[in-house]
Chains A and B, each alone.
Chain A
Amino acid sequence: MANVAPTSEAPVGAMSVSNETAIQIVGMNKWYGEFHVLKNVDLTVKKGERIVVCGPSGSGKSTLIRCINALEKHQSGKIIVDGIELTSDLKKIDEIRKDVGMVFQHFNLFPHLTILENCTLAPIWVKKMPKKKANEIAMEYLSRVKIPEQANKYPGQLSGGQQQRVAIARSLCMNPSVMLFDEPTSALDPEMIKEVLDTMVDLAQTGMTMICVTHEMGFARQVANRVVFMDQGQIVESNAPEPFFLNPQHERTKLFLSQILAH
């Protein structure tokens, strides 16, 4: 367990959270065949809120956030993103995906395109942005994740940490209102985790709505408004980071925390 705490210890958690709802999940259920992966999940995310989802492997946390941009289909319940209800209607799905950025565990950059092309592809084809403007925006975000000099390289020439920062920049180029992070540091060497977490802290400071599935408890303490603990497909406990870590209520949460904070 690499528990690297981000350097800038600014109290991000104190940032303002609006009253508007960004994502509302009501009574959502999902099955893989006979297996009940997500059981009656309710979760409301306000605009500007930063939520960390944690839990043992197989608890359904990745599946939960993958349902939000319809990479996985839920079978019952409601998911409403920015006022649009997610149904099997492809148009609505595309509309939501335009508005929700996602960062994956294995980066999933497009290896046949340069870093810059990776970033400009979706703005040009999905948002029909002129190429010149897309390039400008991409360079701006690449500067923000501190790798503008790599713009014309291919993903394979970059380190894991750099690739993940490109993946973050690529999502930001679509100007999303919500960012989903699916274990963004789990596939990284310990030396590279910090640079990615720093980027995510920077992003949090801009007031982006974020849902992060991660085991980086230092990040959760510093950035999250709320920590959600899942086990066996359901939300077991959800609380602000301070009470969540110091005074967990549920037995399962206590056990989990004692396991991962042991080292």
Chain B
Amino acid sequence: MSDTHAETVAYVAKTQYDPQPPPVASSGVLGWLTQNLFSSISNTIVTVLAIALIIYMLPGMIEWAVLHSVWNAESIRECREIITNAFGEGATGACWAVIHERFGQFMYGYYPPSLRWRPDLAAVLLIVAMVPVLFRTMRPLAVAMGVLLAAKALFAVYAELTGGNAELVGPTTIAAVIFGVLALVFGSEKTRPYWLWLTFAYPVAAYFLLWGGLGLETVESSRFGGFLLTAVIGVTGIAGSLPLGILLALGRRSNLPILKAICTIFIEFIRGVPLITLLFVASTLLNYFLPPGTNFNIVLRVLIMVTLFASAYMAEVIRGGLAALPKGQYEAADALGLDYWQSMRLIILPQALKISIPGIVNTFIGLFKDTTLVSIIALQDPLGLMKPILSNSTWNGIVWELYIFIAFMFFICCFAMSRYSMFLETRLRAADRR
């Protein structure tokens, strides 16, 4: 800078300042605490109150759920006797024995016990089918299979110790070992397309495994129940509603008036009606419209209804993503000469779906929890299975344990979905920093 300039201008920087570390109080653990818990007087009061509440409630909860709980008993009366004998008159504790006794039912409903390896195998294959969709490499599959095998070994040891019969080597174990090893050896990003073929084949494999056929013994839909039923409805709904929702969203934004009208009417109708109504239509009303004598599987009817219901919500979530994209992206794709489907597939949808991830996962979670509504049309999902247990004289009086168990199982699934969506958002954000 010239001298004349320095004379006419009031201030000229002579050196570049070196960067310095931030003050201690604004970084590290202390910084986090002051920022998040004690940033103001009201904030401090709330923090103290919350801590007091936790200290007040937690010991009682732990005592009831863990310390005073009973895992092995034949009936609720026996449960209570054990607790009274051990902890004195008036002591309360959880009677998890009911879960222990009915665990198989909660998992599979009335699926024949000798055939329960088939849903197990279908579950293992579901993981195999999901990993190439959810992740870039197949490494997570190897990890998942390892965890499954370890869990199975632990169960076998537990069964051996308590005198039950442990079956260590079954079709599930073999499948887990095979796919785990395959994932370890051929798990790089390049092999992902081949694994995706397994994903495409999965619905067929799962159908025959669950319902039978092709030499496997047939199992009626009415025997499906528990979390097996939840999983069948939830997974089908999730897998079906996304593509259907994309098509509906594109249709609603289309320039073709008839297509647009059909999609709009469909979405608005489905969104305007409670799921329960649709389920009742599926369970009862549909019989009046179908020709007499047709035996249209009730689970299949529910699957269709749930998928359609979720797809309408999905369509609106995705439409939001499509609308959020700058118009310039559509124009640039057009100007390059890409046709409609090319520009949707290569340019628009990858970006629109990324924007919509929180909404999509939100819809998935809602759908998954809504599967409990099928208990109202007398399907034996976990909530539906509670009714016979509650009316059974051996367990009559138990409520909390069952609800907590079911809530816990749902929480695991929904929390996993939520965490995955956050992982995916981080991964995609790292890929394109805008």
- A residues contacting B by CB (< 8 A) are 69-71, 90, 94, 97-98, 100-102, 104, 106, 108-112, 121-122, 125-126, 154-157, 170-171, 174
Question: In this complex, what residue of B is CB-closest to A170?
Answer: B336
B274 CB within 8 Å of chain A: no
A104 touches B337 (CB 8 A): no
Interface string of B121-158 (1 = CB under 8 A from A): 00000000000000000000000000000000000000
Could you tell me the distance in whole angstroms from the C-beta of A253 to the nearest C-beta in chain B?
A: 30
- Which residues of chain A come closer than 8 Å to B337, judged between CB atoms? 94, 97-98, 122, 126, 174
User: Other CB < 8 Å A-B pairs besides A100-B335, A106-B326, A111-B432, 5 of them?
Assistant: A97-B336, A104-B335, A121-B336, A156-B434, A174-B336
Instruction: Pick out which of these stretches binds chain A: B96-104, B215-223, B338-346.
Output: B338-346
A154 touches B328 (CB 8 A): no
B163 CB within 8 Å of chain A: no
Question: In this complex, what residue of B is CB-closest to A117?
Answer: B346
- Mind listing 29 A-B residue pairs with CB under 8 Å? A69-B334, A70-B334, A90-B339, A97-B334, A97-B335, A97-B336, A98-B337, A101-B335, A102-B332, A104-B328, A104-B331, A104-B335, A106-B326, A106-B328, A108-B328, A110-B332, A111-B351, A112-B431, A121-B336, A121-B346, A122-B336, A125-B342, A126-B337, A126-B338, A155-B432, A156-B433, A171-B335, A171-B336, A174-B337
- Which residues of chain B come closer than 8 Å to A155, judged between CB atoms? 432
Question: In this complex, what residue of B is CB-closest to A105?
Answer: B328
- Which residues of chain A come closer than 8 Å to B350, judged between CB atoms? 112
4 tightest A-B contacts by CB?
Answer: A108-B332, A108-B328, A122-B336, A97-B337
- Which residues of chain A come closer than 8 Å to B328, judged between CB atoms? 104, 106, 108
Q: How far is the CA of A156 from the CA of B431 in the complex (A)?
A: 10
- Which residues of chain A come closer than 8 Å to B347, judged between CB atoms? 110, 121
Total count of chain B residues near the partner, CB < 8 A? 23
B329 CB within 8 Å of chain A: yes
- Which residues of chain B come closer than 8 Å to A102, judged between CB atoms? 332, 335
Contact of B331 among A94, A108, A171 (CB under 8 A): A108
Q: How far is the CA of A94 from the CA of B337 in the complex (A)?
A: 5
Q: A126-B336, A126-B337, A174-B337 are in contact. Are A157 and B433 (CB under 8 A)?
A: yes
- Which residues of chain B come closer than 8 Å to A110, judged between CB atoms? 329, 332-333, 347, 351
B432 touches A71 (CB 8 A): no
Q: How far is the CA of A174 from the CA of B335 in the complex (A)?
A: 11
- Which residues of chain B come closer than 8 Å to A111, judged between CB atoms? 351, 432, 434
Contact of A156 among B331, B335, B428, B432 (CB under 8 A): B432
B432 touches A154 (CB 8 A): yes
Q: How far is the CA of A109 from the CA of B326 in the complex (A)?
A: 11
Question: In this complex, what residue of B is CB-closest to A167?
Answer: B332
Could you tell me the distance in whole angstroms from the C-beta of B254 to the nearest C-beta in chain A?
A: 14
B331 touches A125 (CB 8 A): no
Q: How far is the CA of A246 from the CA of B223 in the complex (A)?
A: 91
Question: In this complex, what residue of B is CB-closest to A70?
Answer: B334
Could you tell me the distance in whole angstroms from the C-beta of B108 to the nearest C-beta in chain A?
A: 43
B351 touches A112 (CB 8 A): yes
Contact of A112 among B336, B339, B342, B432 (CB under 8 A): B432
- Which residues of chain A come closer than 8 Å to B301, judged between CB atoms? none
In this complex, the member of B332, B333, B350 whose beta carbon has the largest number of chain A beta carbons within 10 angstroms is: B332
- Which residues of chain B come closer than 8 Å to A121, judged between CB atoms? 336, 338, 346-347
Could you tell me the distance in whole angstroms from the C-beta of A177 to the nearest C-beta in chain B?
A: 13
Q: How far is the CA of A126 from the CA of B333 in the complex (A)?
A: 11
Contact of B338 among A108, A112, A125 (CB under 8 A): A125
Question: In this complex, what residue of A is CB-closest to B345?
Answer: A125
Could you tell me the distance in whole angstroms from the C-beta of A178 to the nearest C-beta in chain B?
A: 12
A154 touches B331 (CB 8 A): no
- Which residues of chain A come closer than 8 Å to B432, judged between CB atoms? 111-112, 154-156
Could you tell me the distance in whole angstroms from the C-beta of B273 to the nearest C-beta in chain A?
A: 36
- Which residues of chain B come closer than 8 Å to A122, judged between CB atoms? 336-338
A154 touches B336 (CB 8 A): no
Q: How far is the CA of A251 from the CA of B329 in the complex (A)?
A: 39
Could you tell me the distance in whole angstroms from the C-beta of B119 to the nearest C-beta in chain A?
A: 38
Question: In this complex, what residue of A is CB-closest to B342?
Answer: A125
- Which residues of chain A come closer than 8 Å to B336, judged between CB atoms? 97, 121-122, 126, 170-171, 174
A104 touches B346 (CB 8 A): no
B192 CB within 8 Å of chain A: no
Q: How far is the CA of A214 from the CA of B245 in the complex (A)?
A: 42
Could you tell me the distance in whole angstroms from the C-beta of A121 to the nearest C-beta in chain B?
A: 6
- Which residues of chain A come closer than 8 Å to B332, judged between CB atoms? 102, 104, 108-110
B271 CB within 8 Å of chain A: no
B354 CB within 8 Å of chain A: yes
Could you tell me the distance in whole angstroms from the C-beta of B379 to the nearest C-beta in chain A?
A: 42
